[in-house]
Chains A and B, each alone.
Chain A
């Protein structure tokens, strides 16, 4: 295992707005299978995410965690089963795919900011061209989110001039500018220096406090304990075990989960 850390944020997490909806399904994955060529990478995935849930997906590398959340906004195609996001089923239909992507934000391990655009342009591009927001309004929204991630003074700079932690915070702000209903995080802190992990987790926690539906692939077990309402453990392309964080960490059931936890928690 690489990059497992126990970074915790020294403050009480405000849970007053963290409400899991009982009726509204955000994401529904039913009997989903995926192959890369002959390799069966995701096997019989069933996952129902309610609005307001904060889910952490853990597991060894190669277990299919990233592939799973990349299927949810169709960066990867699944071959069998159903994925329904905000009531729209993902098929080869490009219109539906764009519809889903507009409502689902994604944060990548390597930030993937657009290096030829300024921070502000990175943030306003999609709202202007996808949502049709007027430029001035898009810029105001962008500045609002830059302030939320605490780097409004960097708006005119290029991504290459920012530190890794700042870039990742910009990437989060870029997704938020589209005002998504769901946020996907694909190992958002794995490429960061330990010092910078905290500032990114800080932003993610505040997002959770506002009730955002979040799916996070991460090795940050401290974050899972503090924020998640459900932890999912994957191995060999399958969901092996899922539980509330407290029970998951203190009382794992499956042998594979026990082994995994014993290796990453000391």
Chain B
């Protein structure tokens, strides 16, 4: 008969890990060459990069005509991207038909926007409340009068002349900042126990979501004036902003609703049991948690809106993409085999920079807000 009793006499101390579990070689072994399939995929990946990267860099950088080049260089055989075209037409891409001597006005708007938005996005920056009031209330008014003019001796510049990146940014910033709160309200309304509010919200969301954005923009610009009393006109630009905002609000609402549904019932009950009113329950308890869950979806909608702004060309506005397209088609003095491609690549790069920025910021916020659940 064996003795199964056992008592540990001395405890084992922790030791540093052997080399196999840390260091670059271990990393490569684990991530690149873990098994034959991985090794094969790694090799194929390297071959793919060797195939794609040299011509890509060749076209965009090594054979490209720099910003100070001439159209003759762009027209040479073997020439790559024609960056000279971009730099020469940059003003049109940024401002559209905005009068050239007045372009300092949009510049101030850009600078002011960056100046106010940056500290708003940095969690540690002080004076958040003042900053938010300035950005969300004062900045739009100042920007409008600066851009449109007609007061304080500024020359009036109709919105028809605005264009390029300016239009893209104005529509996206207004669209994103308005569609977010509207979306939250719609989501809360959809969960309301009051039948009228609920029905209105459901109808709005389902109607807007089931129609393409192009249709909404088209209706806003062509159909709406038909229903308006004679003589009243609403600015085309404003109509486009309203269309884009309503469209995105419907999507935001559904994203937020997903977040609301992820919150356990106990949270609603605990908040109610403490005597908190409806808006306090939502504002302090439910929404902070729900929105945190759906940051990826919210940013997804924001990115979609940013890119959808290029659809405003349908109502005759020249956003960044349409501005590039216009120049591609009409700037005969820059015609070459690579001009149009370079123009579109430039537009793509600008869109990418903004969208990628939003994406990274959302990941940063997700990690930052994750503290509540860490153990």
Listed in ascending order, the chain A residues whose CB lies under 8 Å from chain B are 73, 75, 98, 101-102, 104-106, 108, 110, 112-117, 125-126, 129-130, 158-161, 171, 174-175, 178
**Distance in angstroms between the alpha carbons of A106 and B266 in the assembled complex:** 12
Least CB distance, A159 to chain B, in whole angstroms: 8
**Is B288 part of the contact surface with A, judged by Cβ < 8 Å?**
yes
Partner of B270, one of A114, A130, A178: A114
Q: Would you give the shortest CB distance from B375 to chain A, in whole angstroms?
A: 5
Contact A158 B371 (CB under 8 A): yes
CB-CB under 8 A from A178, the residues of chain B are: 274-275
Cβ contact within 8 Å between A98 and B374: no
Q: 1/0 contact trace for B263-289 toward A, CB 8 Å?
A: 010110111111111001000110011
Interface membership of chain B positions 364-375, coded 1 if the CB is closer than 8 angstroms to chain A and 0 otherwise: 000001011111
B292 interface contact, C-beta 8 A:
yes
Q: A108-B266, A114-B267 are in contact. Are A101 and B275 (CB under 8 A)?
A: yes
In the docked arrangement, what's the CA distance between A75 and B284, Å? 19
User: Is the pair A116, B272 in contact by a Cβ cutoff of 8 Å?
Assistant: no
Using CB atoms, name the residue of chain A closest to B280: A129
Cβ of B272: which chain A residues have Cβ within 8 Å of it?
A: 75, 101
Q: Is the CB of A160 within 8 A of B273?
A: no
A158 touches B275 (CB 8 A): no
> Known: A112-B266, A114-B267, A115-B289. Contact between A73 and B273, CB under 8 A?
yes
Interface of B is mostly: helix
Interface size on B, residues (CB 8 A): 24
Q: What separation, in Å, do the CA atoms of A98 and B373 have in the docked complex?
A: 30
With a cutoff of 8 Å between Cβ atoms, the chain B residues found around residue A125 in the complex are 274, 276, 284
Residues of B within 8 A of A75 (CB): 269, 272-273
8 A Cβ contacts from B240-297 to A = 264, 266-267, 269-277, 280, 284-285, 288-289, 292
Residue of B nearest to A73 (CB): B273
Per-position contact with A for B344-375: 1 when CB-CB < 8 Å, else 0? Answer: 00000000000000000000000001011111
Query: Do A98 and B375 form a contact, CB below 8 Å, given A110-B266, A116-B288, A129-B284?
Result: no
Give the distance in Å from the alpha carbon of A101 to the alpha carbon of B271 in the complex: 10
| A-B CB contact pairs (8 Å), 6 listed | A75-B272, A106-B270, A114-B270, A116-B288, A130-B277, A160-B374
A178 CB to closest chain B CB, in angstroms? 6
Residues on the A chain within 8 Å of B289, using CB: 114-116
* A115 and B274 form a contact (CB under 8 A): no
A129–B276 CB distance below 8 A: yes
Smallest Cβ distance from B60 to chain A, in angstroms?
Answer: 45
**Closest Cβ of chain B: how far from A20's Cβ, in Å?**
25
Q: Which 10 A-B pairs have the closest CB atoms?
A: A112-B270, A112-B266, A126-B274, A116-B372, A106-B273, A102-B275, A101-B275, A130-B275, A115-B372, A160-B373
Shortest distance between the CB of A184 and any CB in chain B (Å): 8
Contacts of B269 in A (CB 8 A): 75, 108, 112
Among B270, B274, B280, B372, contact of A160 (Cβ-Cβ < 8 Å)? B372
* Chain A residues, Cβ within 8 Å of B270: 106, 108, 112-114, 171
Q: How far is the CA of A178 from the CA of B369 in the complex (A)?
A: 28
Contact A126 B275 (CB under 8 A): yes
Task: Give the nearest-CB partner of B283 in chain A.
Answer: A129
Residues in A neighbouring B275, C-beta threshold 8 A: 98, 101-102, 126, 130, 178
Shortest C-beta distance, A191 to chain B (Å), equals 11
What separation, in Å, do the CA atoms of A117 and B374 have in the docked complex?
A: 12
Given A108-B269, A108-B270, A112-B267, the answer on whether A161 and B375 have CB atoms closer than 8 Å is: yes
Cα A115 to Cα B371 in complex, Å, equals 9
Complex: how many Å from CA A117 to CA B135? 27
Residues of A near B274 (CB, < 8 A) are: 101, 125-126, 130, 174-175, 178
B373 touches A115 (CB 8 A): yes
**Contact residues in A for B277 (Cβ distance below 8 Å):** 98, 130
Looking across the interface, which residue of chain B has its beta carbon closest to that of A110?
Answer: B266
Q: How far is the CA of A75 from the CA of B266 in the complex (A)?
A: 11
Asked whether B266 lies within 8 Å of A158 as measured between CB atoms, the reply is: no
Using Cβ atoms and an 8 Å threshold, which residues of chain B touch A104? 273
Cβ B374 vs Cβ A158 within 8 A: yes
Q: Which A residues are in CB contact (< 8 Å) with B375?
A: 160-161
- B residues less than 8 Å from A110 (CB atoms): 266
How far is it, in angstroms, between the C-alpha of A114 and the C-alpha of B271 when the chains are bound?
Answer: 9
Which B residues are CB-close (under 8 A) to A115?
289, 372-373
Most buried by A among B264, B289, B372: B372
Query: A175 — which chain B residues lie within 8 A by C-beta?
Result: 273-274
- Contacts A101-B274, A125-B274, A171-B270 aside, 10 further interface pairs with beta carbons under 8 A come to A106-B273, A108-B270, A112-B267, A113-B270, A114-B270, A114-B285, A160-B373, A160-B374, A174-B274, A178-B274
Query: What is the CA–CA distance of A215 and B273 in the complex, to the nearest angstrom?
Result: 15
- Bound-complex Cα distance A130 to B288 (A): 19
- Determine if B372 and A117 form an interchain contact, defined as CB atoms under 8 angstroms apart: yes
Write out the residue numbers on chain A whose beta carbons fall within 8 Å of the beta carbon of B271. 114
Cα A174 to Cα B371 with chains together (Å): 21
Question: What is the CB-to-nearest-CB distance from A172 to chain B, in angstroms, rounded to a whole number?
Answer: 12
Nearest-neighbour CB distance to chain B for A113, whole angstroms, equals: 8
Provide the bound-state CA to CA distance between A129 and B277, in Å: 9
Residues of A within 8 A of B285 (CB): 114
In the assembled complex, the Cα of A116 lies from the Cα of B289 at a distance in Å of: 7
